[in-house]
Structures are given as C-alpha cells and as structure tokens.
Amino acid sequence: MSAKLIKGTEIREEILEEITAEVKEIKEKHGVVPGLVTILVGQNPASISYVTLKIKTANRVGFKEIQDNQSETVSEADLLALIDRYNNDDSINGILVQLPLPKHIDEKKVLNAIDPDKDVDGFHPVNVGRLMIGGDEVKFPPCTPAGIQEMIVRAGVETSGAEVVVVGRSNIVGKPIANMMLQKGPGANSTVTVVHTRTRDLAAHCLRADILIVAAGVPGLVKPEWIKPGACVIDVGVNRVGEKVSEKTGKKIAVLKGDVDFDAAREIAGAITPVPGGVGPMTITMLMKNTLKSLKFSLGLA
Ligand code: NAP
C-alpha cells in the first residue's frame, strides 16, 4: 500500500494562517506586530532568493519587516554596531543575518553578537543550551528541526516510546532534532539513535525506526529494504541532481532529489515526506513562528 504523503506545502499553509490570525489578534489588543530584520551582506544570488522568500512570507503574515542590505565591503565593526542597534530596538523581535558572510568577517562573532532573545534562527550557543535543557527553557528551536517535529505531530504519528533514528549529526539538523525528540514532553518522549558515516551497519539501525529522519545530503542513500513497514519517513535531504526546463516559466530549474529512494520507499512506509514539497517549506514557516513567539515573550504572553 502506498504511504500517506506528509506535505510541507499544506502544513505551511495551515501554520501561516494560524500565525496571521494570532498577529491580527495581538495587533488589536496590544497595538504591535512582530518585527523581523533581515541583514544581507553583498549580492550572493542564492542569499538574495532566500531573503526574498523570507520577506514575502513575513509580509504575508502581517509582520513589520525590515530588509537591511549592506555592501560586500562593510567592515566587521560596522556590522557588529548594526546588530547592536537592532538588539536595542524594541520594535524588532527577530534578527537574521543571511549566511554566508564575506571572508573578511568572522561569521561566528557576528552570530554570537545577536541578542539570544532575538535569535529566531535558534543557533546562538545560549539557545542551543536552552534546547538541550528542554521544557520551559526552550525559546527558539532551530527552524528546520522544529519544522520536522511539527510535521510528525500534525501527521498524527505517535512519538512517545517510538524508536527514532536520525541519519546525520550536523549542528543545524541531525543533532538538534535528535535532542528535541528525546525530550520529556508532547511530540517527543522518543528513544533516539543518531547514525553517521562511522556507524557500523546503517541499514540495521534504520530498519528499527518507527520514525526515520534522514539528513545526510546523499541522494537515494536510504534504500527501501532499510525501512520498517509502516514507518514514518522524514526526508530532509535536498540534492541537486540535474536541471530541467520549468513548464510554468520556461526557465531552467534544478532537479531535486531527497536522501531516500522515494518511489520504492513509498510502498513500504506508512507516511513519507516528498522532496521537493516536504520539509523544505517548513523552515521559513517556523522562522515566522519563532518571531511571533519572540514578540509574545516580550509582551508576557508566552
Ligand atoms: P551536513 O552538515 O553535510 O551533515 C550531513 C550528515 O550526514 C553528517 O553528520 C554526515 O556524517 C552524515 N552522512 C553523510 N553521508 C553519510 C552516509 N553515507 N552514511 C551515514 N551518514 C552520512 O548536512 P546538513 O546541513 O545536516 O544537511 C543534510 C541535508 O539536508 C542536505 O541535503 C541539505 O541540503 C538538507 N537540508 C534541508 C533543509 C530544508 O529542507 N529546509 C535544511 C537544512 C538542510 P559525518 O558527521 O560522519 O560526516
């Protein structure tokens, strides 16, 4: 039987509608809306397209949105001063610095200069620590892992007591999602295994998973025979495997493939995310959720 498709595109719409309604209500009651600033240094085409999508989404849900474009030659000191200004601006609840930064700027220094209470990306060491502690300590879960957890929950998949296997141990996906799934609380309480390139017998671990989360960046790494029948499979991988001409625009676009052999896996899994249209749309959505949360913290509503 074919697995249920967990579509990020549909879940995104649900969540963005919830956020829009909540922003409207807060505006009516408190006269404020969430403020998000996106700092873009230089003209990297991929960064411009990410930033454009973030701005479009922020406008859609009714945020105050500031796009702060800085020249490629901005000094590190000036960038740090700019962040300090936004840290002290009460109308700004979230600060994003689009990566990569030019080579003359220390990325770590810049990211660590963001006030942890405005770090809606959730990568500041303070927020990584809060995530590790769990429960009420958590302010801003990093966006892609938060999106993965939200998809699992909204798909109605039981996480309590479930065997979760995470393929990959990066700081942006593997480690945080593993940490989130083992916390005591709703949408978690799982037994978690993390596997990576040094793991012996990857297949045997994957085969035990009730929930298999794959974030390796290797197209088709997970074979259908590694999947437990009925498992929930979350494919985080986004791999460019070629180019094609878009039927809509006539322009050349990338052909994307996940880390899971989708067509075959779909016949074994109980639920599965497609690539594209699965985890991808969730990241910016959760960024909006974190920014709204930041305003709610500052108003004492969360
Ligand atoms: P990363 O930093 O390259 O980490 C990949 C992890 O996978 C590493 O821990 C690596 O193990 C492990 N790995 C690689 N090949 C493996 C193999 N053959 N067997 C077992 N483990 C293997 O990647 P990332 O940033 O986490 O991203 C992973 C994928 O998710 C990429 O395709 C990326 O584009 C995608 N992604 C998507 C979104 C989104 O949809 N919004 C967001 C973030 C990332 P070692 O540690 O041992 O090297």
Q: Separation of 168 CA from ligand 1 center, angstroms?
A: 5
* Ligand 1 proximity of 113 Cβ (cutoff 6 Å): no
Q: What does the pLDDT average to over 274-298?
A: 98
Q: What does the pLDDT average to over 126-137?
A: 97
Say which amino acid occupies 206: C
pLDDT at 44: 94
54 included as an active-site residue: yes
| Residue range 134-192, pLDDT digits in tens | 999 999 999 999 999 999 999 999 999 999 999 999 999 999 999 999 999 999 999 99
In percent, the amount of the chain with pLDDT more than 70 equals 100
Residue whose CA lies nearest to ligand 1 atom number 39? 280
Residue whose CA lies nearest to ligand 1 atom number 30? 237
Q: What does the pLDDT average to over 236-248?
A: 94
Q: Which residues pair with 163 in a beta bridge?
A: 191
Report the C-alpha gap between 221 and 130 in whole angstroms. Answer: 32
* Ligand 1 proximity of 56 Cβ (cutoff 6 Å): no
pLDDT at 128: 98
pLDDT at 71: 97
| Residue range 68-118, pLDDT digits in tens | 999 999 999 999 999 999 999 999 999 999 999 999 999 999 999 999 999
Q: At what angle do helices 8-30 and 45-60 cross, to 10 degrees?
A: 50
pLDDT at 135: 96
pLDDT at 263: 96
pLDDT at 65: 95
Q: Which residues contact 131 (CB under 8 A, 6 or more apart)?
A: 122, 137, 138, 141, 142, 176, 179, 180
Q: What does the pLDDT average to over 268-289?
A: 98
Indicate whether 1 pLDDT > 90: no
Q: Separation of 171 CA from ligand 1 center, angstroms?
A: 10
- Catalytically annotated residue among 4, 64, 70, 98: 98
In percent, the amount of the chain with pLDDT more than 90 equals 99
> How many C-alpha atoms does 105 have within 13 Å on its Cβ side?
24
Report the C-alpha gap between 236 and 173 in whole angstroms. Answer: 8
* Ligand 1 proximity of 279 Cβ (cutoff 6 Å): yes
